[in-house]
Chains A and B, each alone.
Chain A
Amino acid sequence: MQNTDCTFICEQFTEYQDNSLSSKIRARVDTHLASCSSCSEIYQKLAGVIETLHKLPTLQASSDFNSTLLSRIETLNQETVWQKFYHSSSSRVAGYAIAAGLIVAIGINIMIDPISPVKTGIQSNFAGEQIKPNQPTESLAEISDSSANHPVDSLTLQNSTINSQNQSMQLVSGKK
């Protein structure tokens, strides 16, 4: 492009080809192309490029595209169902309850006898003597009962359970 007019003309090529230029500018492009070999060459090449682009072969998705997609969606749905379950407040609280229960159970187990596996009934009887009667068992029952309807309560309960666990551990160390 030798001069500013060439630049201007080249800028019009797309619209020139689309036939969307005003008649005045279209005439200007026509006149310029007739007299400027450089621009006219660029224009012809451009037309060739566009033609080739339009003629590019159309690709097709593979025959198992839909089945692969549908199985990915199925996986996604299963994940979503699980996530919903996991994130819903009631199941989360249930999770807390189970966790709290485990902590209590482990605490009691350590307190009584860290090696031999003792039956739960004996454990709580023994623990009852050491701490306050039935406290850990009660907490657990309350948590699981209240978990569905009173998430805040059960959170508080969880804390109290942890406290009672600390208590029991202190008692154990005091005993030794």
Chain B
Amino acid sequence: MSEKPLKTDEQLIADFQNGNENAFVELVDRYKDRLVNFVYRFLHDMTDAEDMVQETFLKVYKNKHAYREIAKFSTWIYTIAGNLARSELRKRKRRKTYTMSDLSFDDNEFTPVDPGKDTEGIVFNSYAGEEIMKAIYALPEPFQTIIILRDIQELSYEDISTILDIPMGTVKSRVNRARLKLQDTLSYLKE
């Protein structure tokens, strides 16, 4: 059984630029879940996330000719979605300043842990997904974005470098700092 080789994203967007709307639908099918996952990690609301991904595709639809073949389609669409999500997040954070109690995981009063405290008893792999997501949400935006791109979307350093328009070396050091920061935040929230 010989199947037709799948078209690349770049071939599909080129087809769409030439008027083939089915190519657009194919791109939507390829990217909708990935982008919903991506945007959801910023917004923590499925309805908002879907709405924003729809906005992303509408932008692609309206501005299809803005895409140039020199870039990967994936980095282009991630850039659009990321910009929308981050600007929505900034709007939200202006509306509501998060307090640490918003981020505690149970009804117990939040008590910061002394970083020097002996934590031998902690099972390191026991962070629940929800705890981690709350901790990511609490991170300053640049850290948050880089964690989502690298550790959740698992994009390459090169792609992240393109999406955020920062040098590869900066991406790597920022990933490292963001992870340390996240781990730090989790330690505080865990107790």
A residues neighboring B (CB under 8 Å): 10-15, 41-42, 44-62, 65-66, 68-69, 72-73, 76
Contacts and interface: CB of A to CB of B under 8 A. Distances in A.
Contacts of A68: 54
A161 B12 CA distance: 54
The winner among A13, A42, A48 for most chain B CB atoms within 10 A is A48
B36 A59 contact: yes
Contacts of B187: 45
B84 to A, nearest CB: 15
A56 B129 contact: yes
Contacts of B119: 41
A58 B147 CA distance: 16
Given A15-B172, A52-B132, A69 B54 contact: yes
B113 to A, nearest CB: 12
B50 A65 contact: yes
Given A45-B187, A61-B50, 7 more contacts: A10-B180, A14-B172, A15-B176, A45-B186, A49-B182, A62-B50, A66-B29
A69 B173 contact: no
A73 B61 contact: yes
A48 B135 CA distance: 14
